[in-house]
Chains A and B, each alone.
Chain A
Amino acid sequence: MNPDALGTALGAGAAWTAAAVVGHFMIFHFAHVEHRARTVTLLFALAAFAALWTCLLLDIDRWRAVYGMVVVACSFLLYMPFYYTVAASQSVQLVIEVHAAPHGLSREQIQRRYPVQETLAGRLETLAWAGYIVGVDGRFALTFKGRLVSRPFRATKKLWRLGPGG
């Protein structure tokens, strides 16, 4: 066994993670990406397999080769929340808009910029498009996929005694 197998495997994982991040920035900057989250996930999946392939090519034993994939997987776990904060956080959007307004914004102006009905309609449309809810007679019901997400979180909220959230 190569005595530095662990270092090589972890290095391969780190290098391919860096490649995935650079790829993400380049693709999103130069191309119009419709399925953004899916694209980032795909990039990291490719990086994980590339790390495995690199390790096997360098005669690293299978266990340590998997460690290279674990590095990519853990980096993905850390990267996605960061990406979603940049891309979808309403709080971040608010800070950007308040900063952009020369004299700040009043609460009423903010409420006008985020009309409740339009915000809700947009999110319901997204949830329906993603297959979490389905429209039935003017109402929305959960699909199986929606229940699969809702139930564990309901249980977690109950277990941790969290507030209503949202």
Chain B
Amino acid sequence: MKGLLLAAASSLLCVGGVTVLFRIVDVPRRAAAMLGTFLATVPLYVAAYALTPADLWLLPGGLVESRGFLGGAFGLFVHAALFFGGWLQVYNLAERGFSLRILIDIDESPGRALSPEEEEAAYGSGRGMGWMLDKRIEGLLSTRLMVERDGRLMATDKGTRAARVFGGLRAFLQIDTPQ
């Protein structure tokens, strides 16, 4: 139980740190900044686990772990899952979610309703739908999965490996179209 409680505290500390960071600094690479904040909380978690008593001054005997290392590793796994599967996904959805952007555009429109044509123009706070595709292409270029040569986009070695892995997984799982 000590590992779980410290993981929950570390997770809250992490999201608190991210919030303060995003509010006071203009961060160009936000996902990397979030990862850095998470990594900074890992040694804090380890130190807190090592330096506090097994019962955390409050736990009943039945909830105290006799195998401290395993309890600590379990807490660290929970902390990592809350970050990579929780906070980082909240960020990814808020920053890149196509469906979510549509819902927000409708919610922010004056009449709280949009036709498909209005949504096409309003998408991304008025940037339009064409911007969405450009944003993804620029993302793939900046992560060096693709390069642009003579006006054509080509897969790099890294992109080729990614295409083979993801294409293979899609074929095995019989996924043809995004759902």
- Tier of interface size on chain B: 35 or more
Q: Mark A123-151, 1 if CB is under 8 A from B, else 0.
A: 11011000011001011111000110111
Q: Decide: A95 and B155 in contact? CB cutoff 8 A.
A: yes
Separation of A84 and B11 alpha carbons in the complex (Å): 23
Question: Which residues from A are CB-within-8-Å of B113?
Answer: 136, 139-141
CB distance from B80 to the nearest CB of A (A): 8
Name the residue of chain B whose CB is nearest to the CB of A143.
B103
Q: Decide: A90 and B173 in contact? CB cutoff 8 A.
A: no
Question: Which residues from A are CB-within-8-Å of B81?
Answer: 74-75, 77-78
Question: Which residues from A are CB-within-8-Å of B95?
Answer: 162-163, 165
Total contacting residues, chain A, CB less than 8 A: 82
Q: Mark B164-178, 1 if CB is under 8 A from A, else 0.
A: 101101101111001
Separation of A91 and B20 alpha carbons in the complex (Å): 30
| Interface status of B1 (Cβ within 8 A of chain A) | yes
Chain A, interface SS category = helix
Separation of A146 and B166 alpha carbons in the complex (Å): 31
Separation of A123 and B102 alpha carbons in the complex (Å): 9
| Interface status of A23 (Cβ within 8 A of chain B) | no
CB distance from B19 to the nearest CB of A (A): 6
Q: Decide: A120 and B120 in contact? CB cutoff 8 A.
A: yes
| Interface status of B137 (Cβ within 8 A of chain A) | yes
Q: Decide: B166 and A92 in contact? CB cutoff 8 A.
A: yes
Pick the contact of B115: A37, A139, A160 (CB < 8 A).
A139
Separation of A76 and B111 alpha carbons in the complex (Å): 38
Q: In the complex where A110-B137, A141-B113, A165-B97 touch, is A159 in contact with B103 (Cβ < 8 A)? A: no
CB distance from B139 to the nearest CB of A (A): 6
Q: Decide: A86 and B62 in contact? CB cutoff 8 A.
A: no
Q: Decide: A146 and B96 in contact? CB cutoff 8 A.
A: no
Task: Report the 10 A-B pairs with minimum CB-CB distance, sorted nearest first.
Answer: A77-B85, A166-B101, A74-B81, A99-B163, A164-B125, A104-B154, A104-B152, A141-B113, A139-B113, A99-B155
Binding site for B on A (CB under 8 A): 1, 3-4, 6-7, 10, 25, 28-29, 32-33, 36-37, 61, 63, 67, 70-71, 74-78, 80-81, 85-96, 98-100, 103-107, 110-111, 114, 116-117, 119-121, 123-124, 126-127, 132-133, 136, 138-142, 146-147, 149-151, 153-154, 156-157, 159-166
Q: Could you give 11 example pairs across A and B, Cβ below 8 Å?
A: A86-B175, A91-B140, A95-B163, A104-B149, A120-B129, A153-B93, A153-B97, A159-B22, A165-B101, A165-B124, A166-B96
